[in-house]
Structure 1
């Protein structure tokens, strides 16, 4: 099969996980190639996501690397096959690659946990609120760029309304609820939208109010995207230039799970959070 010229985030992640298995087994690329009966170039292409793989090939590699974690091997095998052309591929020529990759990542998530201090979570934003955010970007976006970003963001929200939506838990600091992007009418509409979305059985919104004594945050908004096993989780960080950064090292994943757990421990319970947001709508 011909090599993959532009591997997706999912294909690159599969290759990276196979590289981790090889390194844990103590194999060099040369040793792995000899063990697998392929040349070194093929191993390198596999580990960068540029070589198509079958589920049987992945299982064979895991066996050669003495990986006995059946759940992980099954999860890796499920990531093989032909490139799925999801709706996000339509935006690959119009948006930064990381934003397209994020939509693909969310599509395959088994659960999503997000924490934000300044902004409303992207999957919970109204169209008017999102447009106000994009208009405030520095340097300013052109009108067509705003519309591309807006359409992409709204389509991302579809995962919360599909037949098999992933559980979604958002922790939002009070400061994000009070930012007022777009003016009073937009802000009121955004808060009411949060209340409506929070009624979905798989969505949980919790608020950390001002005055909370212990606020265990990195100071940066992030999404924790769960995979079928914890080794395949991903942390997505918002960057100051508006892009996305992805982390998947085991120590990094553990750190951000702990941060989320601590943030949940100091957030208001779901019912109290809903009442808190409702009171804010009355103040605008």
Structure 2
């Protein structure tokens, strides 16, 4: 396999997980290379995501590392992905790398849970809402840059409509629903869209009303992406400076707990739809 000049997040994750398996086995990279029959530098490149490996090579490495978790091994083999490119690769020269990494991570998700306090969930935004959101960026974006981001965001939403669709839960604080971004027309269209999406079998919209005392407030959007096995879950933290991707076991446990607490503060799906209708009347 050829060296990967610019490793994707998926390639980096595969390398990191293989490194974890090697370290748990007690093998140094030099000893692992000798067992596998490759130069030591190859092991370092693989673990850094800079060298593409085949699914069979991953299985062979797992055998050397005495990994008995067959589900994990097959999930890691699935991360190799051959040499195929995703639709998001078309945007790599036009958008920040973290944008593209988010789309790739979402595409391979089995389910997604997101919590927002002051912004609408990206995968549930209308075109007008997305355009208004990117129009508020600092520093200001040029018109064509805004349109690139809008088209990319809408393209990401296809995972909610494919077969089978991704299971998606959005925990939305009432503050986000009343921010008024884009003006009344945009807000009404966005609230109508949330209502319509909440009726889909694979989408849950859970509204957290004002006045909930135990809500673990955070202005930072949190996205928890489930992979094919729990070890390959990912947390995405969004900020003005880009996205952070977390995958350490302790981090995953922490954010599962935080999201559970947030969801427990939310209204039921039916009462959430009632809340959306009430808020829409106020716009």
Q: Provide the TM-score with structure 1 as the length reference.
A: 0.97
Cα 1:8/1:179, change in 2 over 3 Å: same
Equivalent position of 1:17 in the other structure = 17
Instruction: Provide the aligned C-alpha RMSD in A.
Output: 1.1
Question: Does the 8 Å CA contact 2:124/2:197 hold for their aligned counterparts?
Answer: yes
CA deviations over 1:150-198 (Å, ceiling 9, x no partner): 1100100111111211100010001000000011111111101100111
Equivalent position of 2:238 in the other structure = 238
Equivalent position of 1:176 in the other structure = 176
Secondary structure at the aligned position of 1:94 is classed as: coil
Q: CA deviation at 1:66?
A: 1.6
* Matches of 2:194 and 2:203, distance apart in 1: 10
Secondary structure at the aligned position of 2:244 is classed as: strand
* Matches of 1:2 and 1:186, distance apart in 2: 48
Question: Does the 8 Å CA contact 1:53/1:81 hold for their aligned counterparts?
Answer: no
* Matches of 2:212 and 2:81, distance apart in 1: 48
Equivalent position of 1:73 in the other structure = 73
Equivalent position of 2:31 in the other structure = 31
Question: Does the 8 Å CA contact 1:217/1:259 hold for their aligned counterparts?
Answer: no
Equivalent position of 2:194 in the other structure = 194
Q: Provide the TM-score with structure 2 as the length reference.
A: 0.97
The 5-angstrom pairing of residues 207-246 of structure 1 reads 207-241=207-241, 243-246=242-245
Question: Does the 8 Å CA contact 2:54/2:82 hold for their aligned counterparts?
Answer: no
Equivalent position of 2:258 in the other structure = 259
Equivalent position of 1:58 in the other structure = 58
The 5-angstrom pairing of residues 91-102 of structure 1 reads 91-102=91-102
Secondary structure at the aligned position of 2:212 is classed as: coil
* Matches of 2:257 and 2:162, distance apart in 1: 29
The 5-angstrom pairing of residues 103-142 of structure 1 reads 103-142=103-142
Equivalent position of 1:158 in the other structure = 158
Equivalent position of 1:204 in the other structure = 204
**What stretches of structure 2 of length at least 5 have no aligned partner?**
none
